[in-house]
Structure formats: C-alpha cells, structure tokens
Amino acid sequence: MIDPQQPDYRNTPVSPSRPRFHYRLADPKTPPAVSIVTPFYNTGDIFRETAASVFQQSLQAWEWLIINDGSDDPAALAVLDAFRDCDARVRVIDLPENRGPGAARNTGYEAARCAYVCQLDDDDLLEPTAIETWLWHLESNPQYAIANGWSVAFGAKEYLWPNGFERGDKCLQSNYPVGRALVRKSAHAAAGGFDETMRSGMEDWDFWMRCAAAGLWGSTVPEFHDWYRRRENHGDRWALWAESPDQPDFLARQREKYPKLFESGVPRPARRWRTALEPIRTSAPCSNVLEKPYSRALLIAPWMSMGGSDKVNLDLIDQLLRRGWEASVVTTMRSDDAWRPQFTRRTPDVFAMPNFLRDTDYPAFLRYLIESRRPDVVFISNSELGYQLLPYLRAVCPEPAYVDYCHSEQPAWKHGGYPRYSIANQDLLDGTGVTSQYLKDWMVRRGGDAGKTTVVTINVDAEAWRRRDEARSRVRAAHNIPDDRMTIVFAGRLHADKQPRVLGRTLLELTRRGADFHALVIGDGPDGKDLRAFIQENDLLARVTMCGARPNEQVRELMSAGDIFFLPSLWEGIALTIYEAMAAGLAIVAADVGGQRELVTPDCGLLLPRKCEDEAGEARAYADVLADLLADAERTRALGAAARRRIEDHFTLEKMGEAMLKLFADARARHAACPVRLTERIGIECATQAIEQLRLSEALGETWVDPNEGALENTPQARLIRELENERDAAWAEAQRMARGWEAQHAHIQHIESRLKWFRRTSILTPIWFVAKHWPLRPLFERLRNGRASQRSPTTD
C-alpha cells in the first residue's frame, strides 16, 4: 500500500518490488462471493497489469466477467484471448458491437452470480486486500449499498485522492467516490442500472446519483485501495471527463435529471449504534480457504504506529520472511497507523479492523482470517483485545499454536499491563516470549508458568545501525554542531514513561554547570509541547535541537551524530532505543529499571537506580554522570566501542529470529501434545463480553479530557453540546421575549433535555461533572419560569 507521506507512484500493486503472499484457493471449486465486472474495449498490454491485480487478490473466491464491448483492434483482441481459458473463474462475454461502458457494465451485472459486484475498469489496479476489505465492510454495515477506498492516480498524472462517499452532498458537484467499488447487486437493480445512453463518460458518476436518488449510498474505507491510471488526455475517449469544458453542461443536465436529489441532498444512512452486550457475528460471509505451501504466522497487534514494540514486530516479520514464512497482520485499535506502509512493504496481508468493521464483527473476522490463512502460530503482541478474545479463538480455531510476547510490566496500568494479561491467560497460551530475565521472574512470582515462558531479547540489526562517518558529518553540519562538541541523544516517545521533564531538567542542570554539549531530542508525544516550552523558557535552544518524530532511517542518521545516549525512563523492559544506540557506538546513560542491566553492562554504560523522590534530585544525579562523560571524551568513546561489540557478539537480529522460531516450535509441540479444548458456546460468550468491554472503554475514552491537551472543544460530546446549547439559548431568548410562548418553548426545551438523556445513554457513562458544567438545563428552567412570572400581567392569573 502506498505511503502517503512519501508516495512512490511507480510501486504499483503489480510492481515486482511489492511483497507477495500465496493467494490461491485450496479448493478451486469454492463458490464465488464476488463478481468482478470489467468492460474491455481495445485495451492493449496494460490490461495484463489489471489482470495481475485481480489474480493476486487476497479474496480468491471470485468470478471475473470481462465484457468485450465490441473491440476491433487485433492486438487488443490477442491480449483478451489469452484470458478466455486461463482460469475457470474467468468468463469473457462478447458483445456484438460497441455499446459503451454503461451497457457493458449492465451486461456484467445481469450475468453476475454473486450478491456483490466489483466494478473495475480495464486499465486500473487494485491493492491485494481491496475486495476482501470491501466485502467485509458491506457485511458489517448493511445500511450501505456501496463500498470503496481512497484512490491513487498514476501514469500521466500522479496524486493521492483521499476522498469518497463521506463528502456527502459535495459528491453532486464532483465525483469524489470514483468508479472502482463493490456494489450490492440488488442496489444496481433498485437504481435502474447504468444509463446506457451516456457513452461519453461520467456514467459512473451518474450511477452514484441514480443510487442516491433511489435512497442508496456508500461508504469509503479510509485506506488507499485502488490505482486509477491517468492518461495524457482523457477527453480523447471520454468527452465529458472531469477536466473537459463540457462538464458544466453535464452538471446542468444532471440537475434536470435528478431535481429532488439536488434539492434534498444525498441519503444519509442511519448509524448503527452499538448496544449493550450486542450479539457478535458468528459466521463469515464466504469461504476463502487458501493453499498453504509455507509456514505462516498471524500477528495480532493494537496498531501500526511509531514505537518500540511496533519496530520489534517489523523485525520479527523480517526474520520470518527470511526463513520462508508468510505473515499476516491484523490490528484491533483505532490509530493513524503511520507505520502501516512499513508493514505492507513486508507483507500485503495487512488489515486494520477498526477502519472497515463494527467491533461486533472483530471476532468473526479473526476467525475467518485464521480459517482462510491457516497460520501455524497466532502471535499476540500488546493487544488487550487479543488476550480477551483468546477463549473464543481457542474454541473456534483450535488448530494453530497461540503465543504472546511481553515487553515490560506497567505498574500504573491494570496492575502490570500486558504481562498481567499473559499470566491470566497462561492456560490458553502455548508459549510466552519475554524481553528479559527480569520480566520472566516478575511474571513467575505472580503465577506465570516458568516452563512456558522464554526469554527472547528483541535485539537489533547491527549492520544497519553501524555509525557512518559521512552521516555524522552531515547531521552535525545541518545543526551547526562543531566536530569536537560532545552530543547527547535522546530518542523515544515524549510521554511520562520516558520522563521528558527529567530530561529537560537534566539538560538545564548541565548548562548551569557550564558543560559544553549539544543535545538532539528525537521523538514526540503528549509531553512534547511542555518540553519544547521548557527548552524555550530556559534559553536552551542554542544547545538543544528538538528533532520531532522521525522515520527509522533518519533516526539512524541522527544517532550517528551522537556520543552519549540518555534515557531516564520511569520503567522499561529493555528499551529498543538502547539496543540501537549501542549498535551505533554510543555510551549509555539510562535508568536501572526493568531488565536494562541485562543489556547495559558497566563497561558500556551507566545505569542509575531511581532513588530520588523528586524530579530535580533525579536530574542532578543524571547530570553528575553526564558531566563526567562530557569531560572525558576518551572514556566516552571506550564505552561506546564496548557497547557496539556487545551488540555484535550477543544481540543481533539473527539471534532473535532463531530464538523466536524456537519459541514457536516449542509452542507447537506443546499444543500438539496437550491441546486446549473449549466449547464454542463459552467462546462466543467470552467474545461478547470482550466486545462489550471495548465498547465501554472507547465510550469512556471519548469523554476523557487530557488537561495537557487543553480542551473539550474537539471531543464529539463537546461538538454536540454546542449544537444543542445553541438550540437551548434560542429557546431561552424566545421565552424571554414572548412570555406567552412559555408552553411551546418549555416543550422545546424538554425535547432538548430528552436528547441529552439519549446522548448520555448512547455515549455510555458521560461524566456527571461534564454534563453539569456544560449543560445547565435545570437552572435554565428556573430562569424561564422566573421570566414568565415577571412578564405576566395582573389579569393573566
């Protein structure tokens, strides 16, 4: 999938540089779930690319109807002939004459055997998971008739098109949803199909209007799923194409054609509100069992964001791929998924469930994915929902081994965080990997199974992180750092876990002592704003460069410019950034927490125990150690060189891959010898309860206001409250102006209060303080009553 931050328009879904997955049905007689309809008219070799993107779809249960719309070019017909007998799922339907794309698509819909039809032009491309994602999106959201994704334009013009059906009425002014989509066949019939008289283009846009006029609308998954081939001049084939001067006339005709639609706007399908203990889906919409020529792993993670655990997941996938495995990835929490392109560079089989499913369908999709891909190992990495769904997955998918991996205990979150979940689910897990002996001991003391728990250190690519002299010079020149000035590097999320306040105080203390240094702070997070303000208020800008969040390649470059790596964490397992800094040859100064001393020995760095109760005292202790290193460049270099050797000797990614594969093998052997059996009934109930907890957690999360972020105004509650407060204020003003309107205004305000009650019920536990502060309806009633009484005349009574 394309990286929206650094788009490479040459790396299309069929590019040789793309990763591959063995998408092929185990049973070729599997009935199709989707009919793909493609009009074909005198298309040349580029049609082979379209075909390649169809054949590599993750959903293999399809039929492909290629409608030959009277092609007469011999070269094009030769291309088409190659597909007539290539696969039993492909049917070529020849029209006796050219009738236009609308008629060709209608022909395809009539011949389609499936309830869902994918519209795909003969020169466009689809991402491998596009159709599978769209099918599940429509199954999960029956209120929609159409599903598609965002689009990538390539060829003569290159740009990203992150637009779709969510643009609502604006879709009547521009074709935001584009034409590649999955449509319910019943919707095509209800809308009357495509207008076959439109042979100059825009028939797909008109079809969306037809659907809207029939009360049908679509939903766009916020992911880049299709590639739209741009020509130098689309007008040579489609006179009404969007950039044509004829488009205003087209829109004028559409207004005449659909007057009610342009007057009232597009449909707005009702949102399906989640209800308490709503039953989960228990079946998949289709069968899609794939061949399995290789070992496979399914990774369940919360998200694909920049962070240490996510980098470990990427490294694990790399190690599996090098050993001949295939990997699938599924995530369980809403996120910007900034690192999704990093994952899709390794495997195309990646799914962010919150983007296309209601949460009540998460369990069924996971079941479907396991039954389809048939992984040897299901690997849970920091996914709370993954742990909660273990009973369900064990009950309905008993074949794979289930393994988890824990990075560190988190005392401030749920009595230990993910390791606590791991301990609670030991009977359902076939193996547990941990990052350190310290964490294994911590878990065993709390009831963990020592025999199932294996230390697998996360390690690092030593060669990739080797310090490059040219990078060091380049970074120092860019930030005006003299070659002889010692440089401190911090890399991590600017969050309380990493103690950015202690970082700032330590740098200030060093400055006050007159130490000569520069600091590079790499990363961002919720405490980033405060740290930047601290740096500015204390005149540290000349000494401290705030680099912000950077991709891994740039972090490596910045690390090359450093001499000392500083990480004053509150707690850790073993920080990945310390592995990376040691591989780059930096001396280490960090907190003696978690399993850090298993990596950082006295000959390559200094670890400080957290003895101080206050941040100022902790900062002074760190400043003492850093000041000594800044004053002794030779010792600092010796520590850095020893750190590099320790990584090369003991902590390479190859060693991590070997240890992880052994963990998997032991877990599979344990599973074969003593399989866990649960009934489907108890599994479904556990999944239902897990989704209910997710519903409550998300609802409470929406009401949470972080004081550091500043404000309520961006929350969904606050936006709705502002709308209803405006209604309330208008009612109050009207009641004050016209006392005789009391009854009507009182009824209106009662209606507003009923909406408040509904709002509180559907939003789950909106805090009372929030409502009391922002929705003072009771005092309003008293003011209204007082206003009414003061305006009454004596004769009124």
pLDDT tens track for 524-583: 888 999 999 999 999 999 999 999 988 888 999 999 999 999 999 988 889 999 999 999
Element (H, E) at 434: strand 431-434
Are the C-beta atoms of residues 706 and 526 closer than 8 Å to each other? yes
- The rounded mean pLDDT for the chain is 88
Q: Say if residue 152's pLDDT is above 70.
A: yes
Strands 181-184 and 116-119: antiparallel
**Higher per-residue pLDDT: 410 or 511:** 511
Give the residue-averaged pLDDT of 401-428: 93
pLDDT of residue 703: 57
Rg of the chain over Cα atoms, rounded to whole angstroms, equals: 31
pLDDT of residue 51: 98
Q: Which long-range contacts (CB under 8 A, 24 or more apart) does 78-83 make?
A: 79/43, 79/44, 79/45, 79/47, 79/48, 80/40, 80/43, 80/47, 83/51
Ramachandran class of 89: left when φ > 0, alpha when ψ lies in -120 to 50, beta otherwise: alpha
Alpha carbon 199 to its chain centroid, in Å, reads: 40
Give the whole-number percent of the chain exceeding pLDDT 90: 77
Q: Say if residue 718's pLDDT is above 70.
A: no
pLDDT of residue 530: 94
CA distance 520 to 506: 14
How would residue 787 be classed by pLDDT, with cut points 50, 70 and 90? very low
Give the residue-averaged pLDDT of 190-213: 94
pLDDT of residue 108: 98
Q: Say if residue 18's pLDDT is above 70.
A: yes
Q: Say if residue 708's pLDDT is above 80.
A: no
Among 646, 532, 557, 667, residue whose Cα is nearest residue 600? 646
Q: Say if residue 654's pLDDT is above 60.
A: yes
How would residue 27 be classed by pLDDT, with cut points 50, 70 and 90? very high
3-state secondary structure of 166: helix
Structure tokens at 430: 């076939």
User: What pTM was computed for the model?
Assistant: 0.84
How would residue 406 be classed by pLDDT, with cut points 50, 70 and 90? very high
